[in-house]
Amino acid sequence: MFNVVAQDGPARAGVLRTDHGDVPTPVFMPVGTQGTVKAVEQRELAELDARIILGNTYHLYLRPGTDILNRLGGLHRFISWDRAILTDSGGYQVFSLSDLRTIREEGVTFRSHLDGSSHVFTPEQVVDAQRSIGSDVMMVLDECAPFPCEREYAERSADLTSRWAARSRDAFTRSEPRYGHRQIQFGIVQGSVYEDLRMRSAQALVSMGFEGYAIGGLAVGESADAMYRIVETVAPALPADKPRYLMGVGTPENLVEAVSRGVDMFDCVLPTRNGRNGQVFTSAGSLNLRNAVHRDDPRPLDERCGCYTCRTFSRAYLRHLFIAKEVLALQLATLHNLTFYLELMRAMRSAILERRFEAWKTAALIQSSSRIVTHP
């Protein structure tokens, strides 16, 4: 199911095997919350060789609804995607509805952000919803503690997540996939920025025997140093033969630093959201395409990039599209940003396989700076 094929220090290169294809790691998963990666087509994602994308149980449960997905054969068929899919449990989305939800031992009651209708998520219902979705990798229901929070709250939250994880695991083992392909389940380590709580959470989850483990509740306002400290603490406590997933992270620098600490899988809205807002990642830093400095610039976004956008269009044209509010601007910038992220992961994998990761990392952290610059 998961094999580590090379290691250079804590950094790992592996393969996650699913019935919808092998996923080389480290890997970045484009975020397709509602069954679509915003501004790009599935055909384009396949051309970028994205091996796995992320969907969200909360959004898919509300719309189109699990009844429709059941009737139409699951999310893969519904969106015409024959590669792997991971679904988040929707816990983060539910708990971000602070004025519209109530947490209890049984689960969480919340009101839809779409129409105000009332719903309940229990660990068991979330497993059932993901059986209907048919994702290759499903996540357990967890509570994402806010930042900052007092230790007492973080402890209650992490312990609740562990109890929910046990119920989720039981529901998973007692149920079967619905569409003929194998599904696996990841537990989620919580505990805010408190290292001992994180370790207690990790130990509890490992005892439940999940097929993989995620580190959740980060990138919610804490410093980058705090994030790295937690990852450095938790990753070695997780089984070496299971994939490790850092949820919702992050900038190119975050990805490099987390891989260097033993993380295998990532997702984040940054490349797609930033692209739709005219900010693109390049090997020389980030560019704001709305800036007037690009109005007559004939260069591609990044001369080192081989994506369709960089092979075909100038910075001047891309700026024109954004200023004119043309939909094509969103597509072209997103394609480039996703290429940048996917190529970054491939470069890390190659460096690990060739046992030169630390030297590569030193150079990459300079080139992949997430700061905004108007020109290199």
Instruction: Report the catalytic residues.
Output: 88, 267
Q: 292 burial class (0-12, 13-18, 19+ CB within 10 angstroms)? A: exposed
Q: Give the separation between CA 250 and CA 146, rounded to whole angstroms.
A: 18
Closest by CA to 75, choosing from 35, 114, 39, 22, is: 35
For 291, the token pair is: 């800036």
Give the torsion sign (CA, 57, 61, 64, 65). positive
For 77, the token pair is: 């068929």
| Cis peptide bond prior to 177, omega within 30° of 0 | no
For 195, the token pair is: 């290292």
Beta strand 11-18 pairing with 2-8: antiparallel
Q: 80 burial class (0-12, 13-18, 19+ CB within 10 angstroms)? A: exposed
> What is the full DSSP assignment across 243-285?
-EEETT---HHHHHHHHTTT--EEE-SHHHHHHHTTEEEETTE
Q: Give the separation between CA 366 and CA 96, rounded to whole angstroms.
A: 34
Q: 147 burial class (0-12, 13-18, 19+ CB within 10 angstroms)? A: middle
